[in-house]
């Protein structure tokens, strides 16, 4: 009987969203981040939730029984797929819903613009109307990365009556990144993490933004230099930041971002919806069943 490990099921919902009982296998769920990868040595199959647990070569080499590694989505920068192929490990992916992160992006923008967390807290404490909100209509939305998610965010911005401008390293446009940062009232990031995008927004870029501007990052933490961002928030160089992603996840309890001013923080929940989890876990079960039959599907590292 195959042994399957489901990793990083923080909410304890994996069994709810996938028919794991349909598999002729022993299924073990890990709810907390793993401190010792050796705990996974006995498993034939591992299901990884996004990049919550990285699998570089050195980790894969310590998993002698691993034959199938399933990741949610059809790409995972935290898995060394080439090393997996060389070690005889198949990496398979899943589908997912296309709108979840775009929706959370707008939740963060609106929460910042209308000071929703602060006003909610004030009402619960007996207060009333402490802040003055920012009206988005007529302002400029700067979208860094105009792929599937960036395009969805841009369309919603237009619906709010915003002027939308965009830049990416792959766009053929006369607009430069510097011009976008100078002109935008809200800057939102929608690019993949890579060597080219790591640290894309640092101290110099933050200094180019308006002091009234908001920065939103729902892509990956290291795209924004956290030290520079903290300094910009503390000094008032920018007006605020909405963050769903961080350099280290889960965010350490003593991390300075937890007490940074003018921020709305969410715990990497851009993709955490019922529709996404249904797609992730249903497809993962299908991937495993097909692999156990000798007919692998959705293979990423052929």
**Of the candidates 294, 293, 292, 291, which has an alpha carbon nearest to the alpha carbon of residue 91?**
291
Q: Which DSSP state fits 77?
A: T
Concerning whether 249 is annotated as a catalytic residue, the answer is yes
Greatest CA separation found in the chain?
63
Task: Please identify which of the residues 119, 163, 237, 249 carries the catalytic annotation.
Answer: 249
Tell me how far apart the alpha carbons of residues 262 and 118 are, in angstroms, rounded to a whole number: 10
Concerning whether 220 is annotated as a catalytic residue, the answer is yes
Exposed/middle/buried for residue 283 (C-beta within 10 Å: 0-12, 13-18, 19+): buried
Which residues touch 291 (CB under 8 Å, ≥6 apart)? 45, 67, 68, 90, 92, 297
Concerning whether 268 is annotated as a catalytic residue, the answer is yes
């969410």: which residue's tokens?
Answer: 266
Task: Please identify which of the residues 190, 268, 286, 298 carries the catalytic annotation.
Answer: 268
How far, CA to CA in Å, does 141 sit from each of 109, 153, 193, 250, 253? 10, 9, 21, 29, 32
Task: Please identify which of the residues 59, 100, 115, 220 carries the catalytic annotation.
Answer: 220
Angle at 104 between CA 103 and CA 110, to 5 degrees: 95
Q: Mind telling me the catalytic residues? A: 220, 249, 268
């Amino acid at each position: 009987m195959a042994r399957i490990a489901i990793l990083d099921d923080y909410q304890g919902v994996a069994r709810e969203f996938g028919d794991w009982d349909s598999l002729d296998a022993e299924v073990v769920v890990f709810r907390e981040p793993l401190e010792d990868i050796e705990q996974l040595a006995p498993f034939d199959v591992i299901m990884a939730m996004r990049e919550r647990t990285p699998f570089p070569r050195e980790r894969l080499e310590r998993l002698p029984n691993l034959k199938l590694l399933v990741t949610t989505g059809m790409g995972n920068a935290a898995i060394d797929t080439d090393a997996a192929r060389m070690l005889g490990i198949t990496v398979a992916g899943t589908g997912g819903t296309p709108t979840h992160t775009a929706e959370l992006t707008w939740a963060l923008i609106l929460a910042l613009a209308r000071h929703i967390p602060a006003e909610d807290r004030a009402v619960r404490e007996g207060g009333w109307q402490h802040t003055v909100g920012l009206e988005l209509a007529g302002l400029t939305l700067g979208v860094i990365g105009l792929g599937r998610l960036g395009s969805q965010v841009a369309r919603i911005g237009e619906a709010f009556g915003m002027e939308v401008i965009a830049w990416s390293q792959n766009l053929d446009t006369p607009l430069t990144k510097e011009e976008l940062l100078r002109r935008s009232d809200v800057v939102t990031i929608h690019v993949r993490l890579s060597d080219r995008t790591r640290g894309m927004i640092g101290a110099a870029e933050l200094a180019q933004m308006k002091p009234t501007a908001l920065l939103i990052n729902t892509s990956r933490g290291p795209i924004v230099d956290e030290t520079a961002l903290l300094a910009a928030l503390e000094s008032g160089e920018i007006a605020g930041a909405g963050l769903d992603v961080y350099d280290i996840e889960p965010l350490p309890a003593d991390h300075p971002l937890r007490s940074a001013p003018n921020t709305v923080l969410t715990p990497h929940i851009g993709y955490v919806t019922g529709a996404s989890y249904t797609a992730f876990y249903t497809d993962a079960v299908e991937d495993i069943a097909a692999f156990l039959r000798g007919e692998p599907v959705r293979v990423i590292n052929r």
